[in-house]
Structure 1
Amino acid sequence: MKFISTKIPEVKILEPKVFGDERGYFMETYKAPEFNEVCGDTVFVQDNHSKSGQGILRGLHYQVENTQGKLVRVVSGEVFDVAVDMREKSETFGHWVGVLLSEANKRQLWVPEGFAHGFYVTSEYAEFVYKCTDYYNPKAEVSVRWDDPSIGIQWPLVNGVKPILSEKDENGLPFLDAPKF
């Protein structure tokens, strides 16, 4: 596994070694000793899988209790995946990282605890899978506005059309009003 640094040091892109031939391919998507050496001791307790159509944006989400780190990847299609630093004492507080994750590039993104996370589907549909370091707690979940100008995320919107959002995300908090770590 190759670990690639981003402009936020704690957020990492993981690029697997892919072994392929005429039969298909094989790759390791996670190996605890390698991951923990680069990203810190982590225990994953829950795996999730979602499927979304083009133009759907999910996020920006985080939990103020049962704080989750997430190791995310796409098994079908393509998404623009984003992590926003919500840690007030961090040098990168309020900064964001965006990465294209796809079935083709097989990359993953490590989004540590203390970050808001979201993704936007750029392909016809995408299947998105991720490991979490804590359990989902809907009572502790926060949604930050996807288009908050103080964050300034450059979403690659298909044909410039506003994304399809859930009611929760449509009513997300401004970054300045959202709880911080």
Structure 2
Amino acid sequence: MTTITCVQGDITGQHVDAIVNAANSSLLGGGGVDGAIHRAGGPDILAACRALRAAHYGKGLPTGHAVATPAGRLPARWVIHTVGPVWRNDPADSALLASCYSESLRVADELGAKSVAFPAISTGIYRWPMEDAARIAVETVREAETSVEEVRFVLFDERAYEAFVSQAS
């Protein structure tokens, strides 16, 4: 059974097997969590992302999909990149957000990862309402068939932390 924990802090400092990146489809870095992971992880992550773009994702990583790279200088073995949907209040987008979590766990299983740190995907510049994002994230992780032993939601601020704790309790 997967243990779900919530912590308030910086995802780039988490000592886990895999850190999930709320990436943009280019896989080439950006703002928010994506930029922080690329800055903290160093050039090895960007080089691996460029190789993925050249080999498989010329048009970018589709929304709801996930792919892994080495973690560079982060205190993890891998970074799992996933592209969340932009909030449009469309029920189909909820399935895409759920897919970010389930696909990331599928990739984690393929890697043999036992601990995974997730941010609050799509809640920053993509404007997903925090309480709804927390509900989708926690429900998806609870329902997932995975070998991951610990899912750690790492929330940047108090509001996000409280939203995820209320769902995980």
Give the TM-score normalised by the residue count of structure 1: 0.28
Greater share of helix residues, 1 or 2?
2
Larger relative contact order, structure 1 or 2 (CA cutoff 8 Å, min sep 6): 2
Greater share of strand residues, 1 or 2?
1
